[in-house]
Structure 1
Amino acid sequence: MILEGQTGRPEGETDGAGWLESLVRARRARDALTQRLLEAMAVLGRTRIAIAAGESAGDRLTAFAAELEMDATTHAEARRQVEALAG
């Protein structure tokens, strides 16, 4: 995996705390992305079952898209706030 392969200490890195903090952030990002992927797979599975049962998939997918948009907006705002605090 991309993040797994980038957890080694960079050449010449002397700040152990900074390296460890970066590693923790990378792992948290990986975990969050994995969780979102699992959620998306679950929604697609439920949508597939609904289609097989003769239901419309449009409403389910529209709701999921709205949820993803809200999450993206929330993450972008949080990032802006952190960057503003970091200066």
Structure 2
Amino acid sequence: MNNLFRFQIRLNRKKSLITSMIEEEVEDVNRCIRIVLMSMMMAVFWFTIQEVIQVTLNYQIHDLLIGALCFTIVYLLYDKLGLR
């Protein structure tokens, strides 16, 4: 009887370990999807800002400046987007 009880405890521990591993993998996939979607949104922002400046100011802005602007937006919203 005692051995059976120990065996059940071991099984329960393994199940919880497997469950926590699966939950971590799902969380990693969700995080990856959020990062990909954020990258796509930043690309849209990037080209929109570039086109607006090109049309309104008739001036080609350097990509590094636009990248810095997009990076700043992501940096400020990083915690709110749940990317940690």
State the TM bucket, normalised to the shorter chain.
0.5 to 0.7
2:44 and 2:25 mapped to 1: Cα distance? 28
Q: Which amino acid aligns with 1:62?
A: A
Residue 30 of structure 1: aligned partner? 29
Alignment deviations for residues 39-58 of structure 1 (CA, whole Å, 9 cap, x no partner): 11101101111222216242
1:64 and 1:48 mapped to 2: Cα distance? 11
Structure with greater proportional helix content:
2
Q: Secondary structure at the match of 1:30?
A: helix
Contact 2:49-2:66 at 8 Å conserved across structures? no
Q: Which has the larger radius of gyration?
A: 2
Contact 2:46-2:67 at 8 Å conserved across structures? yes
Contact 2:42-2:70 at 8 Å conserved across structures? yes
Cα distance, 1:60 vs. partner? 2.5
5+ residue gaps, structure 1, are: 1-13, 76-87
Could you tell me which of 62, 68, 78 is aligned with 1:62?
68
Q: Secondary structure at the match of 1:37?
A: helix
Q: Which amino acid aligns with 1:32?
A: R
CA RMSD of aligned residues (A): 2.4
Alignment size in residue pairs: 57
Identity %: 4
Q: Which amino acid aligns with 2:68?
A: T
Pairwise mapping of residues 47-86 of structure 1 onto structure 2 (< 5 A)?
A: 47-53=46-52, 54=54, 56=61, 57-65=63-71
5+ residue gaps, structure 2, are: 1-10, 55-59, 79-83
